[in-house]
Structure 1
Amino acid sequence: MHKYLNTFGLSAIALAFATAPALASAQDQAMPAPPPAAAPGTDTAPADAASMPAMNGTAAPTTTEAPAPMPTTAPLPAPTADQMASMEAWPQDQQAAYDMWAPETQNYFWSLSQDRQDIFWRLTDDDKAALTRLTEAQRESAWFQIKTKLEQMGA
């Protein structure tokens, strides 16, 4: 029964990680502009030129916007000598798992304290990636939730 509770607790943590980025991005998105109001004395709102149908066989005017450029990120720093020594001491399966992580996740791992690194290994790869994408305030909240769950499970 104890193992079942551990699995259930870690599943709850995974669910929190999976939904946190979606909730955070939903809060960050700007509200769409309201449709234009109808003119007094009419029951329809004015339409913009791009949404008006073509008349007399002419094509409707189109607007073209250049796509936004993709943001470029600076390459992440290579592991230090101390970090390389730590990695070499890991079991082979742990080294392979680390190599599969995205560079951002690897970089975030090294920013953690030793106790958080130990807990980080217990998370699923999806949870690790989700935690990496959170803002600093969201990360601290997530770590608080993780530690609370682990304390409740007695792990």
Structure 2
Amino acid sequence: MGQSDYAPQEYGLGAVLNPQPDDVSAHKAVEHRIARTFRTERRIAEHLDSLDLPESSVITDTVYGFGVLAATDRPKVFVIPSDPDFTELLNDPVANGIKYLLAVPPIGRGASDALNLRYPTLYDTGAEVATLELEIPNDGDGQPDWRLYRVNEPA
């Protein structure tokens, strides 16, 4: 637990259990960054919960999205890879009533994210299926910045 490489979340507990607010060392800064992990995902969940969306209206992968799913009060709003209709809804979000795509950068673990595999330019451009609505910088350690895309209305 004392080494950030082997137990990053546990290591970050040092910032919670022994805050030392006057300590500005690099060691304490790392502890604080780790302790903030998943705070951004909780804020995303709160935002999406506040929109009062219908069931199955936000698609995300659980590669990184598990933190958002764990924090939401409305898990049925989300479509995730374990849902039997995930592929069908992802392949044609416009026709299937999907309102939002919650995306991470296609780098690192994000390269295996189903949204990035289906729409390689989603994170950068919306892949011509969606329009950027919100960019969410992440303040957690080792967590990606998020982009929330609103699915384009049918023509």
Q: TM-score normalized by structure 2?
A: 0.26
Q: TM-score normalized by structure 1?
A: 0.26
Structure ID, larger Rg = 1
Give 1 or 2: higher helix fraction: 1
Higher relative contact order (CA 8 A, sep 6+): 1
